Amino acid sequence: MRSDKLILILGAKGMLGSELSVVFEDLQPICWDIDDLDITNEDVVQKRIREISPSVIINASAYTNVDGAEDKQDIANRINGTAVGHLAKTARTIGAKLIHYSTDYVFNGENESGYKENDITDPLNAYGRSKLLGEQAVKNICEEYYIIRTSWLFGKKGKNFVDTMINIGKEKREVEVVDDQFGKPTYAVDLAERTRELIENKMTFGIYHITNEGQTSWFDFAKKIYEVSEMKVSVTPVSSEQFSRPAKRANYSSLINTKMPSSREWQVALKEYIKKQ
């Protein structure tokens, strides 16, 4: 029998999933990671999830290697696209709400003013295309869903820009960072808390943009990281062309939130994160 309060968190050991586990801790969620459930196996997904029959499925699992997706498109599409379809079908079958996370990479980054929830998607790279496949699966299959797009995620578990810059700063006194890509950093703790608000406030189903507020460049983000960390590192701006990577990046990918109260500014969240290190 389905519980009206049972929450299943997938990807529970990851950066976001671990924070979701904390935010929903009082509700005693079931927290699964890849060792507990292979979401790419449709039969296993249907069987395992139907056995516990949660009322809410939160999918924080994903293939997140943006550059790696260029060479491993099949894997990225299977995890970020096809597997999400398996979860969507299962959620619909048992009458559960599905929360799924997507990304600013579903946009082409040409709009300097940023992107609202209903703007046209046009991914620039394989990772973005794989995440769009997941969005489409949820929209086509589910009726009760929240697709949460976010960007520039940082937190205490998993690879992220903040930790990368701090680690580089321990080894080098100078670092080059691109200054022509703009977006909104997001603290995993804040994203997890906003996710709970979304559910508890019974917001209208659909797509939401949830980030910390304030647009910045990777260059200015890096400078702020060193300032807050009190590390004496010289940051030199370089163009995207000078810093070539396998996957093409968007120049402007700020996600505009038109549906929820604004989150705190990213600088405030960054200070809290670094203070807890």
User: Which distant-in-sequence residues (6+ apart) come within 8 Å of 188 by Cβ?
Assistant: 15, 16, 18, 19, 153, 154, 155, 156
Q: Which of 56, 60, 59, 46 has the alpha carbon at shortest distance from 3?
A: 56
CA distance 149 to 45: 24
CB hemisphere CA count around 276 (13 angstroms): 13
Tell me which residues are annotated as active site: 127
Tell whether the torsion through CA atoms of 17, 18, 20 and 24 is positive or negative: positive
Structure token digits, residue 183: 């977006």
Q: Are 183 and 254 in contact (CB under 8 A)?
A: yes
